[in-house]
C-alpha cells in the first residue's frame, strides 16, 4: 500500500545545486579498532652473549691500561714498591740458582761415592768382564769400569813410589776391581746400601767398599739446605703479599669517593675490584722483572772471581745464572703472588665501602 504523503521537495543551495540532508546521506562504517597491548612495567634490554663478552673484555683492557698508567703517575712510590718486592723475591731465587750450581759441582763429586767391588783371586778376566757388563746395565748405575790385577799393580807402583819393592814380590797380591759409579739421582744412602748388598751377594765378589758416612753427611746437608730455602721463600712470599696488600689498601682509601659513586649507579663488586687486581698484578710483574735484572747483574759480577777460583783447583766449573725460562718463571711467580695479595686486600676492604 503506497503512502499518500507528498515527497519532500529537493533542496537547492544559492548556486542552484541540489543538497541533501545529513540524515539522508549514506553512513560510512568506521575502520575496525586495533587494540595495542602495552607492556606492563619497565622494558628490559636484551643483550647477546657476544655483547656481554665484548663489554667484559673492554673493561678488562681498560682496567689494565688505566691501572698501569696510574702507577706511572707516582713513579717514585711505584719504583720503591717494585724494589722491595724484587729484593724479597731475589733472595730465594738466588739460593735456588746456587743449588743448581752445586748440582753441577756434584757431578764432579760422583767419583767420591764410587763403589769398589773387589773380586776373588780365582776370577778370570772373562768372568770379570761379564760381571762388569751386567752391573753396568743396572738402572741405578751410571758406568762400571774393570781394573785387572796387572793394571792395579802398575797404578800402585806409579802412585806409591814403591815400585822397586813391588818388583820383588813373588806374585801379584792385588785382586781385580770393578769401579761402579752410581747415577746422581740414585745417589742416596738407601739406594747405595741396596746396591752394595746386591753386589756383595754375587759369588764372584770378595768385598764391596763404600764410604757411606760421607754420602750420608752430604745428603743430610742437602736436605737441611732445601728446607731452609723453602722456609725462607715462604716467609719472603708472605712479605710480598703484605707489601702489595698494604699498597692496595691505600689505593682503595684514596679512591673511596669514586668507589661510592660507582656503587651508587649500580656497579658490581667485580667491576670495582678489577682495576685493583690489575694494580697488584703489575706490582708483582714489575718486581719480578727487577728481581731478574738484579740476579743477572749479581751473577755476572761474581762470574769472573768464581772462574779464577775454579782454575786454582784445576776445575772447569762455571757459574750459571738464571736462564730465559727461569726468568719467565720468576716473573710469573711474582705476578701471581701480586694478584693473590691484591685479591686478599680488596676482599677485605671493599665490602666496608657501601653507599648509605
- The reply to whether 130 falls in a domain is yes
DSSP H stretches of helix in 109-201: 125-136, 149-160, 163-167, 189-200
pLDDT given for residue 233 in this prediction: 86
Average pLDDT of span 195-211: 84
**pLDDT band at residue 327 under the 50/70/90 scheme:** very high
* 76 and 191 part of one domain: no
Indicate the DSSP class of residue 8.
P
Reported as a single tens digit per residue, the pLDDT across 21-33 is 544 555 555 555 5
Spell out the residues 6+ positions from residue 236 whose beta carbon is closer than 8 angstroms to its own: 88, 89, 91, 92
- 141, 82, 112, 145: which is closest to 288 by C-alpha? 82
* 149 and 165 part of one domain: yes
* 229 and 197 part of one domain: no
* 149 and 292 part of one domain: no
- The reply to whether 33 falls in a domain is no
- The reply to whether 2 falls in a domain is no
Q: Who has greater pLDDT, 234 or 265?
A: 234
Give the total number of structural domains in the chain.
2
% of residues, the chain, pLDDT over 70:
75
**pLDDT band at residue 1 under the 50/70/90 scheme:** very low
**What nine digits make up the cell of 180?**
761402579
Instruction: Tell me which residue range forms the domain holding 301.
Output: 58-107+218-352
* 138 and 92 part of one domain: no
Reported as a single tens digit per residue, the pLDDT across 85-117 is 999 999 889 988 887 787 676 555 555 567 888
* 148 and 178 part of one domain: yes
In the chain, the DSSP E strands lie at 11-12, 18-19, 115-119, 141-147, 177-182, 205-209
Let me know how long the chain is.
356
* 186 and 140 part of one domain: yes
* 182 and 257 part of one domain: no
Map grid coordinates 690489575 to a residue: 278
* 177 and 121 part of one domain: yes
* 129 and 181 part of one domain: yes
* 154 and 231 part of one domain: no
Please tell me the pTM assigned to this model.
0.64
* 310 and 281 part of one domain: yes
Last residue of a domain, one of 209, 240, 257: 209
Last residue of a domain, one of 187, 209, 231: 209
Report d(CA 117, CA 138) in Å as an integer: 15
Amino acid at each position: 500500500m503506497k503512502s499518500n504523503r507528498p515527497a519532500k521537495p529537493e533542496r537547492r543551495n544559492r548556486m542552484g545545486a541540489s543538497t541533501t540532508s545529513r540524515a539522508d546521506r549514506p553512513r560510512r562504517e568506521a575502520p575496525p579498532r586495533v587494540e595495542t597491548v602495552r607492556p606492563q612495567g619497565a622494558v628490559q634490554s636484551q643483550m647477546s652473549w657476544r655483547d656481554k663478552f665484548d663489554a667484559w673484555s673492554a673493561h678488562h683492557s681498560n682496567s689494565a691500561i688505566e691501572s698501569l698508567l696510574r702507577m706511572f703517575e707516582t713513579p717514585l712510590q711505584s719504583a720503591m714498591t717494585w724494589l722491595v718486592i724484587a729484593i724479597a723475591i731475589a733472595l730465594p731465587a738466588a739460593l735456588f740458582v746456587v743449588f743448581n750450581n752445586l748440582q753441577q759441582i756434584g757431578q764432579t763429586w760422583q767419583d767420591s761415592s764410587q763403589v769398589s767391588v773387589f773380586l776373588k783371586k780365582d776370577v778370570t778376566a772373562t768372568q770379570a768382564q761379564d760381571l762388569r757388563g751386567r752391573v753396568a746395565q743396572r738402572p741405578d748405575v751410571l758406568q762400571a769400569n774393570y781394573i785387572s790385577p796387572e793394571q792395579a799393580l802398575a797404578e800402585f807402583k806409579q802412585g806409591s813410589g814403591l815400585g822397586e819393592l813391588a818388583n820383588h814380590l813373588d806374585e801379584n797380591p792385588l785382586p781385580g776391581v770393578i769401579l761402579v759409579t752410581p747415577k746422581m739421582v740414585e745417589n742416596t744412602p738407601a739406594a747405595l746400601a741396596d746396591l752394595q748388598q746386591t753386589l756383595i751377594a754375587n759369588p764372584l765378589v770378595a768385598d764391596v767398599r763404600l764410604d757411606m758416612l760421607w754420602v750420608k753427611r752430604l745428603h743430610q746437608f742437602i736436605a737441611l739446605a732445601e728446607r731452609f730455602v723453602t722456609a725462607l721463600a715462604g716467609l719472603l712470599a708472605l712479605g710480598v703479599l703484605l707489601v702489595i696488600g698494604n699498597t692496595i689498601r691505600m689505593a682503595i682509601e684514596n679512591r673511596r669517593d669514586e668507589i661510592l659513586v660507582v656503587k651508587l649507579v649500580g656497579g658490581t663488586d667485580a667491576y670495582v675490584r678489577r682495576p685493583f687486581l690489575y694494580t697488584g698484578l703489575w706490582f708483582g710483574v714489575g718486581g719480578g722483572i727487577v728481581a731478574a735484572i738484579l740476579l743477572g747483574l749479581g751473577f755476572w759480577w761474581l762470574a769472573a772471581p768464581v772462574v779464577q777460583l775454579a782454575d786454582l783447583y784445576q776445575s772447569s766449573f762455571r757459574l750459571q745464572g738464571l736462564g730465559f725460562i727461569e726468568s719467565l718463571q720468576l716473573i710469573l711467580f711474582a705476578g701471581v703472588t701480586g694478584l693473590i695479595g691484591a685479591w686478599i686486600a680488596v676482599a677485605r676492604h671493599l665490602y666496608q665501602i657501601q653507599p648509605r
